[in-house]
């Protein structure tokens, strides 16, 4: 068997590093954008004279666009090239960020955030699909582990960086940090040398299928994100829209000759199991973070609460690159099972304000890193030929909807438990403990899809 020359090997390694840096930068800029904005929203609202609901829409408009368009963006990448989608998405993300620097009213901010969500949707699936193309299976999980660590680091640094920027330069500065990163990704995307997608000449993107999938996803995010504010009538209408849209999409997919989600993807047990695993685990984790944040700040200062949660990020960032080794040794199935159990244990102990709670966050970080790397590696590695983009889009959709569901469930559980415990004087503690116990139980449901992942030696 002929061996690659040293020059060819160096070429391949250089191309791999360019793809990895572009993927990491793309993932980080999106993670940073969401977390730094949280610190800027109160000041933004005061300076623009906006109501609380209007300020909330600066996040909701973005999330609606991202969640509803990620799968379409992935499908477009499969058809027209992921490098092309990466630079278009990055360029648009940067240009809109520049527009937000001069947005005169809250209406402009909301509109530009919605537009920014469209470009973020174009950007995200490409960052995963390009890894699938550039890295062979034996090196793919390491690259995914590095990407996962970068996301954790960005999410942790976001609040600190956002606080500094808002305090020193005002709320518009949180959008300025997107500009150099977006420019870097555009340059890297133009330097990428990856094979063009091998697609049949008659393949077309099913726009009707894309529409039938986008609007129930948007309705789901809108309904779930506003559960605490919406009345029962609005929630019922939103739920019916989700059900009707999902049913229409399924019927359309069964009848059309070219389904929007290829049958090789919809029928892939590893891919669908990984999506379900990520959806459930992210719901539990972000729900637990929501509960713990409010519970801890009733007994600790904001700084102390932040330090209490810090082990989650440290362990996640440090452990993600090693999670791929566990998959290679024990297989995706049992690695995911172990990670899911760690997540449930961490969630159950996280609301305590003592050393047990801090250790719980470390366990949660370890479990989430293992699940994230295992599921993402399985999704990307098992993606059928020519479908890496649509698979990446579905994965990112799960990662966006999961936290929204988890926070909505956590909020409802905490309120109900606190109300029931009000007479005893332990309402806050009782609410947090009960909510965390339920969220831990919900996370254990992820054991079902975890057992459907490939066992050791299956590849």
What DSSP line would sit under 145-187, residue for residue?
A: HHHHHHHHHHHHHHHHHHHHHHHHH-TTHHHHTHHHHHHHHHH
* Residues 89, 176 within the same domain: yes
Give the tens place of pLDDT for each residue, 23-68. Answer: 889 888 888 887 778 778 888 888 999 887 788 788 888 888 888 8
Asked if 379 and 391 count as a contact pair (C-beta separation under 8 A), the reply is yes
Please, what is the angle between helix 6-48 and helix 82-100, to 10°? Answer: 30
* Structural domain ending residue among the three candidates 161, 193, 225: 193
* Residues 385, 453 within the same domain: yes
What was the pLDDT predicted at 8?
Answer: 46
* Residues 179, 114 within the same domain: yes
Read off the pLDDT of each residue in 369-391 and give the average, rounded to a whole number.
Answer: 83
What is the count of structural domains for the chain? Answer: 3
Give the separation between CA 344 and CA 422, rounded to whole angstroms: 27
* Residues 143, 241 within the same domain: no
Whether the model pTM is above 0.85:
no
Where in the sequence is the domain holding 227, given as residue range(s)? 206-259
Nearest to 259 by CA among 375, 384, 380: 384
What was the pLDDT predicted at 199?
Answer: 62
Confidence of residue 11 (pLDDT cuts 50, 70, 90): very low
* Residues 433, 301 within the same domain: yes
Domain annotation covers residue 22: yes
Domain annotation covers residue 4: no
Give the separation between CA 66 and CA 72, rounded to whole angstroms: 10
* Residues 255, 270 within the same domain: no
Asked if 449 and 459 count as a contact pair (C-beta separation under 8 A), the reply is no
* Structural domain ending residue among the three candidates 259, 286, 302: 259
Identify the CATH number of the domain in which residue 358 sits. 1.20.1250.20
Give the tens place of pLDDT for each residue, 65-99. Answer: 888 899 999 888 888 888 889 989 999 999 999 99
* Residues 185, 324 within the same domain: no
* Residues 18, 151 within the same domain: yes
What was the pLDDT predicted at 157?
Answer: 77
Domain annotation covers residue 179: yes
Asked if 351 and 301 count as a contact pair (C-beta separation under 8 A), the reply is no
* Residues 377, 287 within the same domain: yes
* Residues 327, 345 within the same domain: yes
* Structural domain ending residue among the three candidates 237, 259, 281: 259
Give the separation between CA 70 and CA 68, rounded to whole angstroms: 6
């Amino acid at each position: 068997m002929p061996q690659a020359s040293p020059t060819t090997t160096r070429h391949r390694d250089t191309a791999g590093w360019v793809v990895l840096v572009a993927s990491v930068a793309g993932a980080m800029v999106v993670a940073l954008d969401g977390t730094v904005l949280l610190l800027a929203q109160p000041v933004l609202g005061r300076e623009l004279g906006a109501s609380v609901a209007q300020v909330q829409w600066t996040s909701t408009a973005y999330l609606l666009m991202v969640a509803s368009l990620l799968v379409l963006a992935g499908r477009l990448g499969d058809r027209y090239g992921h490098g092309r989608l990466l630079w278009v998405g990055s360029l648009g993300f940067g240009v809109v960020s520049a527009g937000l620097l001069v947005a005169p009213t809250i209406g402009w901010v909301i509109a530009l955030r919605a537009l920014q969500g469209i470009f973020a949707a174009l950007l995200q699936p490409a960052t995963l699909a390009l890894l699938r193309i550039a890295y062979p299976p034996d090196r793919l999980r390491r690259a995914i582990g590095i990407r996962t660590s970068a996301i954790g680091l960005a999410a942790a640094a976001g609040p600190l960086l956002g606080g500094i920027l808002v305090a020193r330069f005002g709320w518009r500065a949180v959008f300025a940090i997107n500009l150099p990163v977006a420019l870097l990704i555009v340059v890297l995307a133009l330097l990428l040398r990856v094979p063009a997608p091998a697609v049949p000449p008659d393949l077309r993107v099913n726009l009707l299928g894309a529409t039938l999938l986008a609007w129930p996803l948007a309705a789901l995010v809108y309904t779930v994100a506003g559960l605490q504010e919406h009345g029962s009538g609005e929630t019922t209408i939103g739920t019916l829209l989700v059900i009707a849209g999902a049913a229409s999409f399924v019927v359309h997919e069964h009848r059309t000759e070219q389904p929007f989600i290829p049958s090789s993807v919809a029928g892939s047990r590893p891919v669908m199991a990984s999506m379900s695993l990520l959806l459930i685990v992210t719901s539990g984790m972000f729900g637990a973070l929501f509960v713990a944040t409010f519970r801890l700040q009733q007994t600790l200062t904001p700084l102390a609460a932040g330090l209490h949660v810090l082990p989650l990020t440290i362990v996640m960032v440090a452990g993600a690159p090693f999670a791929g080794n566990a998959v290679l040794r024990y297989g995706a199935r049992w690695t995911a099972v172990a990670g899911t159990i760690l997540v449930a244990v961490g969630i159950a102990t996280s609301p305590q304000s003592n050393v047990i709670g801090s250790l719980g966050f470390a366990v949660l970080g370890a479990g989430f890193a293992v699940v994230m790397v295992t599921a993402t590696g399985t999704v990307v590695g098992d993606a059928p030929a020519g479908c890496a983009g649509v698979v990446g889009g579905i994965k990112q959709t799960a990662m966006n909807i999961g936290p929204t569901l988890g926070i909505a469930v956590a909020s409802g559980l905490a309120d109900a438990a606190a109300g029931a415990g009000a007479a005893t004087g332990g309402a806050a503690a009782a609410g947090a403990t009960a909510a965390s116990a339920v969220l831990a139980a919900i996370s254990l449901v992820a054991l079902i899809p975890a057992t459907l992942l490939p066992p050791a030696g299956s590849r």
